[in-house]
């Protein structure tokens, strides 16, 4: 997938499911269930045991699924993710060397940032998006709205504190997408292999975002 295709898909869907589970098999189940539920994007965090191998399997077995590496803190890990077929790289903080590495290889990258200074640095470095993390500790959607005022040109992804009660507020505040972890992929649903539970949640989030975007356009 081209960088532009990945970037467009993220903006179109508006949800980046973050997989944080305890085993590689759990991760495969979570990722494939989310994809089958209408969200063909998955962020495989490096906290998952064997995360890079999971990325490789997902890419080979699920053509069309946008698979990325998450919680990437250094260029060595970024390289392993790209070698496995990752289409994007993201980190919880501003790792400028990782941004530079991803861009050098034509890969979508969105570092985490929290302050205006970090947002400026990330955007000047060439990041495709800037992930505002952790939103919930800084005022949630209100903080994203405040940041969009001086940075209207920066596409922001809200992460941390996104749930069914807040997702619409984040979109209204100006986030182009949201990162969601266990509020979309509950640990118990994965352990019990309850795909219907995850499918139900995915449908709710997709509908909520679609309805809010429609309201905003109207």
Catalytic residue numbers? 43, 131
Structural contact between residues 164 and 183, judged by C-beta atoms closer than 8 angstroms:
yes
Q: Are strands 108-110 and 88-90 parallel, antiparallel or unpaired?
A: parallel
Whole-angstrom CA distances from 196 to 30, 77, 189 are 12, 33, 9
The torsion defined by the Cα of 112, 115, 121 and 125, in degrees rounded to 10, comes to 20
CA distance 78 to 195: 30
> Would you tell me the crossing angle of helices 24-36 and 51-61 to the nearest 10 degrees?
40
């Amino acid at each position: 997938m081209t960088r532009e295709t990945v970037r467009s898909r993220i903006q179109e869907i508006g949800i980046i499911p973050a997989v944080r589970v305890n085993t590689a098999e759990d991760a495969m189940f979570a990722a494939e269930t989310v994809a089958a539920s209408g969200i063909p994007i998955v962020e495989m965090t490096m906290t998952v045991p064997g995360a890079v191998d999971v990325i490789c399997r997902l890419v080979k077995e699920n053509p069309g699924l946008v698979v990325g590496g998450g919680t990437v803190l250094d260029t060595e890990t970024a390289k392993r993710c790209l070698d496995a077929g990752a289409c994007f790289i993201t980190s919880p903080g501003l790792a400028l060397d990782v941004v530079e590495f991803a861009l050098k290889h034509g890969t979508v990258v969105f570092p985490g940032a929290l302050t205006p200074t970090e947002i400026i640095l990330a955007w000047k470095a060439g990041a495709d998006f800037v992930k505002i993390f952790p939103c919930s500790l800084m005022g949630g959607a209100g903080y994203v709205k405040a940041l969009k005022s001086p940075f209207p040109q920066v596409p922001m992804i809200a992460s941390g504190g996104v749930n069914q009660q807040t997702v619409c507020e984040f979109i209204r505040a100006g986030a182009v997408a949201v990162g969601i972890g266990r509020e979309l992929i509950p640990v118990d649903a994965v352990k019990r292999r309850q795909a219907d539970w995850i499918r139900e949640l995915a449908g709710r989030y997709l509908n909520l975002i679609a309805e809010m975007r429609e309201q905003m356009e109207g």
